[in-house]
Amino acid sequence: MEDKNNNLEIFFRDKFNQRIEPQDWNIPDNEVWDSIASNIPVENKKRRLGVLPLIFVGGLTVMSLILGYDNYKKGRNIAELHQELKECSNQTNVSNNENNPSEKFIGESAKLSINYQNNERILSNDSYKIVDLPQNSPENHSVTRMARHSKFNQPHKSSPTTVEIYTNSIMDEKNPFEQGTDLKDNEFITISSLPALPYTTINRPNTLPVIDFPIMADYTKPIKQSSGRILIGPILRYINWQDKIKGSFDNPLSELLIKEETSPSLAMGLAFSKTVGSHLVLNTGILYFQRNQSSQYAINLPYSTTNEINVGSEFENRFEHSLPTGLGNINTSLVLSRSINSPVTNNENVYLDFSLQNHTKALAIPLTMSYYITEAGAGFFVQGGIMNEFIIENKIREVNTESHHTFVRDKSIVVDYNASQINKLNVSTIVGIGYEKEIFEGVGISLLANYGFAVTNTFATPDYQHKIDQLGLQMMVVKTID
């Protein structure tokens, strides 16, 4: 009686695990689908975009903040400079120049100071000679006449709203007006946008033809990375893997490899850079990442009744196969079993959907050279080099099977991973573009987008090649070590 009960159960279970032929059933028409479709959410295109746009938006936000902060700092400096100049003009002591009647000598050796952020700050210790020219004096044009230095030999317009500063490298401490020296060797720089000091010429002995207000130099002079400087910092890299498969696997099941894809990875590590020239930086580092590679197969196995093995109340067919994956061969042992009463014809095909996932842990050592368009360590750069990837561990995860056949009551699949066939070192060539910006003194941030073309195969046979290209987005914080 117990046997009969079990037989009835087995019979029904087998029958309902068969592949169902649609023509035997009055399948609902499109009306049901229409009703389902009207009750489920519509396509959310934002979600389809994945994590990539988030990274782009994040990168853009960081860049905007950096550039915004930079502009704010520059704007503040300019405003302060204007203020300083106004204060300069207010603090000058006017006195007559007795030696030159056509000009009123306003002051000599004036020490200019401004109040900067609550600190009394010396603007310059240099000697200034400030002269007041009559508005209608022909000497007012002497400024033009004076500008005959080789670098500034083009005529300068002189007007009450123009301040001209000239430096004299020959006269040192001497007053050119007192000495009656020809002023042709003096150097001039014109700042037409600055506040006007009417009828006033600031005569400043100095040697360099630059706008060298000391306070200005502090804020606007870019911090250069001198050659040989070493930078170190954490690195975060998002990698979108691109599986490239060529040829066919030399295996009876080769045509059944339906799809292989690698999920994106987030790599973390440490980067080292060294400036090797005014525009060149050598980069290396170490990155750790994990990735999942999914392989899907549709397996069609002929069930042999002549070779089947009797195991109690069941018969079994056993199959051994070597399946290709992106990382090497995966040896599988499949056991298909049927109950004694299951109807089957010899060599009847058994269809299985089979999928497995390789979980890989790897270390990557990049070796790249960056060329900075302006100067090393600042602004946009292009990068090229190689990425060496060392696979340190690979495990098989998520083995799924689904039978679509009539008589298969049970199935078991044993998967054996052949680690020796894995290519332990994979090399890619990398090209990319990036942007680097110093955010604090000695600390910079670098954003980089690059593409890596696989040079070596992750797995290959004479007729089959599997390479994995990579699209990477990278953020790096660098600290300068002197």
Partner 1 sequence: MMVDNQKIRLCIEGSRIAQKELYEAYKVNLYVLCQRYFADLEDAKDVLQEGFIKVFRDLHQFDAAKGHVSSWIKKVFVNTCLEKLRKKKLDFQKIDDHDYEVVYDPCIISDLNLKDLTKMIQKLPIGYRTVFNLYVIEGYNHQEIADQLGISESTSKTQLMKAKNMLRLRLEDVFK
Provide φ and ψ at 369, rounded to 5°: -120, 130
Kindly state the smallest distance separating residue 222's Cβ from partner 1, in Å. Answer: 46
Q: Please, which residue, 18 or 91, has the CB nearer to partner 1? A: 18
**Unique residue bearing structure tokens 């066919």:** 248
The reply to whether 44 sits near partner 1 by the rule CB under 8 A is yes
Kindly state the smallest distance separating residue 377's Cβ from partner 1, in Å. Answer: 41
Which of 216, 232, 270, 298 binds partner 1 (CB under 8 A)? It is: 298
Kindly state the smallest distance separating residue 18's Cβ from partner 1, in Å. Answer: 7
The reply to whether 24 sits near partner 1 by the rule CB under 8 A is yes
The reply to whether 41 sits near partner 1 by the rule CB under 8 A is yes
Q: E-strand spans in 373-442? A: 379-403, 410-417, 425-440
Burial degree of 440 (CB within 10 A; 0-12, 13-18, 19+): exposed
The reply to whether 22 sits near partner 1 by the rule CB under 8 A is yes
How many of the chain's residues bind partner 1 (CB under 8 A)? 46
- From residue 326 to residue 345, the character string flagging contacts with partner 1 as x (rule: CB under 8 A) and all else as - is ---------------x-x--
Which of 127, 181, 254, 355 binds partner 1 (CB under 8 A)? It is: 355
- From residue 386 to residue 405, the character string flagging contacts with partner 1 as x (rule: CB under 8 A) and all else as - is -----------xx-xxx---
Kindly state the smallest distance separating residue 299's Cβ from partner 1, in Å. Answer: 11
Which of 2, 42, 310, 441 binds partner 1 (CB under 8 A)? It is: 42
Q: Please, which residue, 144 or 406, has the CB nearer to partner 1? A: 406
The reply to whether 300 sits near partner 1 by the rule CB under 8 A is no
Compute the distance between CA of residue 298 and CA of residue 334 in angstroms, rounded to an integer: 13
- Residues 151-180 close enough to bind partner 1 by CB under 8 A: none
The reply to whether 40 sits near partner 1 by the rule CB under 8 A is yes
Q: Please, which residue, 5 or 119, has the CB nearer to partner 1? A: 5
Q: Please, which residue, 258 or 268, has the CB nearer to partner 1? A: 258
Q: Please, which residue, 39 or 420, has the CB nearer to partner 1? A: 39
Pairing, β 119-124 against β 112-116: antiparallel
What Rg, from alpha-carbon coordinates, does the chain have?
40
The reply to whether 35 sits near partner 1 by the rule CB under 8 A is yes
CA 248 vs. chain centroid, Å, equals 35
Q: Please, which residue, 9 or 463, has the CB nearer to partner 1? A: 9
321 contacts 305 by C-beta, under 8 angstroms? no
Which of 127, 242, 296, 304 binds partner 1 (CB under 8 A)? It is: 296
The reply to whether 74 sits near partner 1 by the rule CB under 8 A is no
Compute the distance between CA of residue 119 and CA of residue 112 in angstroms, rounded to an integer: 14
Kindly state the smallest distance separating residue 332's Cβ from partner 1, in Å. Answer: 17
DSSP 37-104: HTTSPPP-HHHHTTTHHHHHHHHHHHHHHHHHHHHHHHHHHHHHHHHHHHHHHHHPPP---SS-TTSE
Stretch that binds partner 1, among 17-25, 119-127, 231-239, 385-393 (CB under 8 A): 17-25
Q: Residue 454 has which token pair?
A: 């696989």
User: Hey, what long-range contacts does 245-249 have (CB within 8 A, 24 or more apart)?
Assistant: 245/464, 245/465, 245/466, 246/464, 246/465, 246/466, 246/467, 247/463, 247/464, 247/465, 248/463, 248/464, 249/324, 249/461, 249/463, 249/464
Pairing, β 129-132 against β 163-167: unpaired
- Residues 217-276 close enough to bind partner 1 by CB under 8 A: 258-259, 261
Compute the distance between CA of residue 84 and CA of residue 124 in angstroms, rounded to an integer: 12
Query: In sequence order, what are the beta bridge partners of 348?
Result: 303
Which of 2, 16, 135, 312 binds partner 1 (CB under 8 A)? It is: 16
**Unique residue bearing structure tokens 């009207």:** 38
Q: What angle do CA 243, 247, 250 make, to 5 degrees?
A: 115
Nearest to 370 by CA among 272, 455, 443: 272
Stretch that binds partner 1, among 27-35, 100-108, 171-179, 322-330 (CB under 8 A): 27-35
**Unique residue bearing structure tokens 């990875």:** 265
The reply to whether 28 sits near partner 1 by the rule CB under 8 A is yes
Which of 97, 140, 273, 294 binds partner 1 (CB under 8 A)? It is: 294
**Unique residue bearing structure tokens 């009686």:** 1
Binding residues vs partner 1 (CB under 8 A)? 4-5, 7-9, 11-13, 15-16, 18, 20, 22, 24-28, 32-33, 35-37, 39-44, 47-48, 258-259, 261, 294, 296, 298, 341, 343, 353, 355, 397-398, 400-402
